[in-house]
A and B are shown apart, each in its own frame.
Chain A
Amino acid sequence: MNSGEIILAEAIERRSKNPSSSWLSTLVDSVASQVTDRLNPILVKEARQALKSRQFVVTFTLLLIAAWVWTLFEISMNMPGVYYTPLGGELMLGYYFILAVPMLVIVPFTSFRSLASEQEDGTYELLSITSLTSRQIVTGKLASAILQMVVYYSALAPCLAFTYLLRGIDVATICLLLFYTFLASVLFSAIGLVFAGFSTQRTWNAMVSVLLLLALAFGTFGWLVFLVDELYDELARVPLDAPEFWIGNLVAVTAYISYLVLFVQVAAAQNSFASDNKSTRIRVTLLVQAACYVGWIGFAFAQFGFEPQVPIVASFYAAFHWMIYGAYLCNEGDIVSPRVKRSLPQSFLGRMLLTWFNPGSGTGYLFAVATFGTILLAFVVIGSVFEVLGYQRRWGPNLGELVWGLAFLLAYYIAYLGLGRILLRMIPAWQRQVFLVPILLYVVLLILGVVTPLGIDAAISRNSNPTYSALHSSNWAWTLNEVLDNRSVPVAVYLLVLGSAALIFLINLIMATREIEAVRIATPQRILDEDRSPATDT
């Protein structure tokens, strides 16, 4: 039967059960039922819940009231100029700020609470034992957030149309502004869902709530400043005719998609069952993202000329990004589950190239180090090419300084990430389940690396203005600054930093042996039987 016949059959069945209902309402019910069958069940449930919830009603009402108050205030303040002065841009700015609060703070926080409260109340357990995968649950929550965004947009739609009528802002600017905000809200909601998976315990969740609210507040503030600064000057017109605008958008969209996919996968992995492969998809996404990142930076060089400062900034951003994901990967368990072992690569080439995508903290560490190292190497190669091609640099370090600077950055990355992994193994697995624990451990480690030598130096020399020496080898910030500024760094520092990195890498490599040695196991006969005849009734 096709969809039309199914709808008709269902309508007939419904009508036979309830003859008093009209044909039209029965048909509408049947169509609605067919449509919702194709939707994510979480979306259907959340929509039912959200539309009845007090929080939604209050937010929606406040949004409408704020929009009306702003409209009346702005019009009355500009009378009678409103008849001949373009006022749309100014009015739009106000609406935009009003919309930003529910879009960038309330909706993402609601997404976080929606998943966190399911875990606190035990309903997530009941949800997890249904046929829904953790990815479906997460995307359902995200879809529910998008539905709320659409409702908020529709509430302000008349006001937005009004701004266009008042002139001073074009349709493209209005649309882009709303579109960007929509994208930001979706990304913030995905981050909220990642935060919800940090812990299933109420006490930790309270702490995570505060952290997320702070992050959202800063994120919203930063977003508003960025958007108004970038898009809203020049008489509220976006530079649609400038190629840089579209190139920038292309880069932003690819970056956006990669992060959104990554966040959804991390949120899904955090909520999946223990024996599931929680890592391979994330690692593939990270690899694609790393390739894109190198591409963006390379393109920036080609477009705007060789600026050695650019790869340094890009490398530091990459170090920050890979430190967080490195911590995530190093926090994985050491044992490859039998379920994962069923699908491990078997051939020599497959094992050589794909083992680093297998779940496990050891392979995770090696994967993070290899990818981050490749990114830095790519920057060096790009820099060398530009040097060979004779591009004139205007400022920043020369290629030699850049190479040594990035080598030190990689060495610190290998050393701190590896040391953190060794320390993480000493914390019981159930305590490491709260992702804040590894993050805090790495933050403390990086701070101690800076503060400890400073403290020792101050205690020994009683000098409030210490000078750089081999004692400060663990101080990554100072050492990198010294290397990149081409100051003379003691040979002992080279030996200590690079030697420690090599030693820690070796220790971690040995610790990862068991994961690397894991081989494929046979799939149980019961699984094969069911896969051969999925409809078999037992």
Chain B
Amino acid sequence: MVVASHPMIELRRLHRFFGRTRAVNDISFTLEKGEVFGYIGPNGAGKTTSMRILATLDLPTYGDALVDGFSVVTDPDRVRKRLGFMPDYFGTYTNVNCAEYLDFYARAYGLVGRERHRALQHVMEFTQLDALAEKPIRGLSKGMKQRLCLGRSMIHDPAVMILDEPAAGLDPRARIELREMIGELASGQGKSILISSHILTELGEMCDRIGIIEKGELLAVGKVDDIRDQMGAKRDVRIRVLADAEKVVAWLQAHDEIHEVKQADSQIYYSHSGTRHEEAQVLAQLVREGFEVAEFASHERTLEEVFMHVTKGIVQ
């Protein structure tokens, strides 16, 4: 096996303009083998546009995107062989059942004979569609259709998968099942996955890195923790003191790593940009200073909070 010396996905100064609208405006990032990258942004941010460019369905105005070292602009045919794309629509046919549908795509990807049968069997089992093989597509629920579409995008065992809002409209059970499948695809099968979703808590759990996009621009990219670091605040802390709340506020405001200090009666809230160890030292110092600390609680900022902090809700 030859180890790829290039990223599995690479966006190089990608631009896509529709008239005056800058749907994608100078986006660059890379995605390595076996990595899951979460693509987050409000509606109309440019997620789908950049994903469609990566899937060779649209062309950039400037810049380029590479999949396994091949340009989507000049060599889309080579990109397509190593890419599985699950768009935000189903794209199913009438008068076809699940097995026939997957069989068609297996043939379309050039799988023949026993190779095709094995691929079908594997995908059916993986997506748990084996019991529904003979069921007409029109009779499938949304969750089942999503699984079928995931099966379609992985039938040819692609090295790179691009999933656009795969969990949209699914019930909690279906979402959990989908999350497990994606986890298995990345960690078990070594696929590189670019995934967009509005369900941020799930993305935070399954993605190695995330990219936050708004108004066509990439605002932040990296691990969730790193982005939190970039924002300057990692955790939100709540303290309840029995007395001298104002003095405690004044004491806290004198520290550089403590921000956004607010008081509500005996409760004091602030955000802390230091490490957990430094956070513990703040508590120890408060006690040493003689403040009567009755409660001290802190929690890491969730992906949703990071997202809300980074984006401004601007739609083009």
Which residues does A use to contact B, with CB under 8 Å? 6, 9-10, 13, 33-34, 36-37, 41-42, 44-45, 48-49, 52-53, 121-123, 125-133, 273-275, 337-339, 524, 526-527, 530, 536-538
Min Cβ gap A480→B in Å is: 43
Q: Which residue of B lies closest to A36 (CB)?
A: B107
Q: Which residue of A lies closest to B97 (CB)?
A: A48
Q: Which residue of A lies closest to B114 (CB)?
A: A10
What residues on A are CB-neighbors of B81 within 8 Å?
131
What residues on A are CB-neighbors of B87 within 8 Å?
122, 125-126
B57, CB-defined interface residue at 8 Å:
yes
Contact among A37, A126, A130, A537 with B1 in the assembled complex (CB-CB below 8 Å):
A537
Contact A122 B91 (CB under 8 A): yes
Contact A338 B73 (CB under 8 A): yes
Q: How far is the CA of A121 from the CA of B89 in the complex (A)?
A: 9
Q: What count of chain B residues pass the 8 Å CB interface test? A: 48
With A129-B57, A273-B76, A538-B68 already in contact, the answer to whether A45 and B114 are too (CB < 8 A) is no
What residues on B are CB-neighbors of A13 within 8 Å?
114, 117
Contact A33 B2 (CB under 8 A): no
B95, CB-defined interface residue at 8 Å:
yes
With A10-B114, A131-B80 already in contact, the answer to whether A121 and B91 are too (CB < 8 A) is yes
Chain A to chain B contacts (Cβ below 8 Å), 7 pairs: A37-B107, A121-B91, A129-B85, A274-B73, A275-B73, A337-B74, A527-B78
- Chain A CB count within 10 A is highest, among B91, B107, B117, B159, for B107
Contact A526 B152 (CB under 8 A): no
What residues on B are CB-neighbors of A34 within 8 Å?
113
Min Cβ gap B290→A in Å is: 64
Q: Which residue of B lies closest to A132 (CB)?
A: B108
Contact A274 B108 (CB under 8 A): no
Contact A125 B96 (CB under 8 A): no
Contact A45 B56 (CB under 8 A): no
What residues on A are CB-neighbors of B251 within 8 Å?
none
Q: How far is the CA of A537 from the CA of B190 in the complex (A)?
A: 13
What residues on A are CB-neighbors of B74 within 8 Å?
275, 337-339, 524
Contact B91 A123 (CB under 8 A): yes
Min Cβ gap B4→A in Å is: 4
What residues on A are CB-neighbors of B55 within 8 Å?
129
What residues on A are CB-neighbors of B70 within 8 Å?
526-527
Q: How far is the CA of A36 from the CA of B75 in the complex (A)?
A: 29
What residues on A are CB-neighbors of B59 within 8 Å?
274
B104, CB-defined interface residue at 8 Å:
yes
Q: How far is the CA of A538 from the CA of B79 in the complex (A)?
A: 13
Contact B100 A339 (CB under 8 A): no
Q: How far is the CA of A6 from the CA of B115 in the complex (A)?
A: 12
Contact A273 B91 (CB under 8 A): no
What residues on A are CB-neighbors of B105 within 8 Å?
126, 130
Q: How far is the CA of A465 from the CA of B57 in the complex (A)?
A: 57
Contact B104 A41 (CB under 8 A): yes
Contact among B78, B104, B113 with A530 in the assembled complex (CB-CB below 8 Å):
B78
Contact among B68, B69, B95, B108 with A131 in the assembled complex (CB-CB below 8 Å):
B108
Interface residues of chain B: helix, strand, loop or mixed (majority): loop
Contact A53 B78 (CB under 8 A): no
Min Cβ gap A62→B in Å is: 19
Number of A-B contacts (CB under 8 A): 109
What residues on A are CB-neighbors of B80 within 8 Å?
129-131
Q: Which residue of B lies closest to A13 (CB)?
A: B114
Contact among B4, B78, B96 with A49 in the assembled complex (CB-CB below 8 Å):
B96
Contact among B94, B96, B113 with A6 in the assembled complex (CB-CB below 8 Å):
B113
What residues on B are CB-neighbors of A37 within 8 Å?
107, 112-113, 116
Q: How far is the CA of A9 from the CA of B82 in the complex (A)?
A: 29
B110, CB-defined interface residue at 8 Å:
yes
Contact A41 B68 (CB under 8 A): no
Q: Which residue of B lies closest to A530 (CB)?
A: B78
B83, CB-defined interface residue at 8 Å:
yes
B1-60 CB contacts (< 8 Å) to partner A: 1-4, 6, 33, 55-57, 59
Q: How far is the CA of A68 from the CA of B74 in the complex (A)?
A: 57
Contact B2 A126 (CB under 8 A): no
With A122-B91, A527-B75 already in contact, the answer to whether A41 and B159 are too (CB < 8 A) is no
* Smallest CB-CB A-B distances: 6 pairs: A41-B107, A130-B108, A52-B95, A526-B69, A538-B4, A37-B112
Q: Which residue of B lies closest to A531 (CB)?
A: B78
What residues on B are CB-neighbors of A337 within 8 Å?
73-74
Contact among A10, A526, A537 with B2 in the assembled complex (CB-CB below 8 Å):
A537
B134, CB-defined interface residue at 8 Å:
no
Q: How far is the CA of A52 from the CA of B81 in the complex (A)?
A: 31
Q: Which residue of B lies closest to A537 (CB)?
A: B1
What residues on A are CB-neighbors of B85 within 8 Å?
126, 129
Min Cβ gap A46→B in Å is: 10
Contact B113 A125 (CB under 8 A): no
B125-179 CB contacts (< 8 Å) to partner A: 152, 156, 159
Q: How far is the CA of A33 from the CA of B117 in the complex (A)?
A: 10
What residues on B are CB-neighbors of A536 within 8 Å?
2
Q: How far is the CA of A130 from the CA of B80 in the complex (A)?
A: 6
Contact B83 A129 (CB under 8 A): yes
Q: How far is the CA of A530 from the CA of B69 in the complex (A)?
A: 10
What residues on A are CB-neighbors of B77 within 8 Å?
133, 273
| 6 extra interface residue pairs, beta carbon distance < 8 Å, beyond A122-B91, A527-B70 | A10-B117, A41-B108, A53-B95, A132-B108, A273-B76, A275-B73
Q: How far is the CA of A128 from the CA of B72 in the complex (A)?
A: 13
Min Cβ gap B316→A in Å is: 19
Contact A129 B56 (CB under 8 A): yes
Contact among B95, B113, B159 with A10 in the assembled complex (CB-CB below 8 Å):
B113
Q: How far is the CA of A273 from the CA of B78 in the complex (A)?
A: 12
B109, CB-defined interface residue at 8 Å:
yes
Q: How far is the CA of A526 from the CA of B74 in the complex (A)?
A: 12
Q: How far is the CA of A430 from the CA of B159 in the complex (A)?
A: 33
Q: How far is the CA of A271 from the CA of B83 in the complex (A)?
A: 20
Q: Which residue of B lies closest to A127 (CB)?
A: B108
Contact B110 A131 (CB under 8 A): yes
- Chain B CB count within 10 A is highest, among A127, A128, A129, for A129
What residues on A are CB-neighbors of B94 within 8 Å?
49, 53
Q: Which residue of A lies closest to B56 (CB)?
A: A129
Min Cβ gap A156→B in Å is: 25
Min Cβ gap B53→A in Å is: 12
Contact B107 A44 (CB under 8 A): yes
Q: How far is the CA of A128 from the CA of B77 in the complex (A)?
A: 9
- Chain B CB count within 10 A is highest, among A6, A127, A132, A538, for A538
Q: How far is the CA of A130 from the CA of B101 in the complex (A)?
A: 14
Min Cβ gap B104→A in Å is: 4
What residues on B are CB-neighbors of A526 within 8 Å?
6, 69-70
Min Cβ gap A308→B in Å is: 51
Q: Which residue of B lies closest to A342 (CB)?
A: B74
Q: How far is the CA of A486 from the CA of B159 in the complex (A)?
A: 72
What residues on A are CB-neighbors of B57 within 8 Å?
125, 128-129
Contact B75 A339 (CB under 8 A): yes
Q: Which residue of A lies closest to B115 (CB)?
A: A37
Min Cβ gap B16→A in Å is: 13
Q: How far is the CA of A530 from the CA of B159 in the complex (A)?
A: 15
Q: How far is the CA of A126 from the CA of B89 in the complex (A)?
A: 10
What residues on A are CB-neighbors of B2 within 8 Å?
536-538
Q: Which residue of A lies closest to B159 (CB)?
A: A538
Q: How far is the CA of A10 from the CA of B115 in the complex (A)?
A: 11
What residues on B are CB-neighbors of A33 within 8 Å?
113, 117
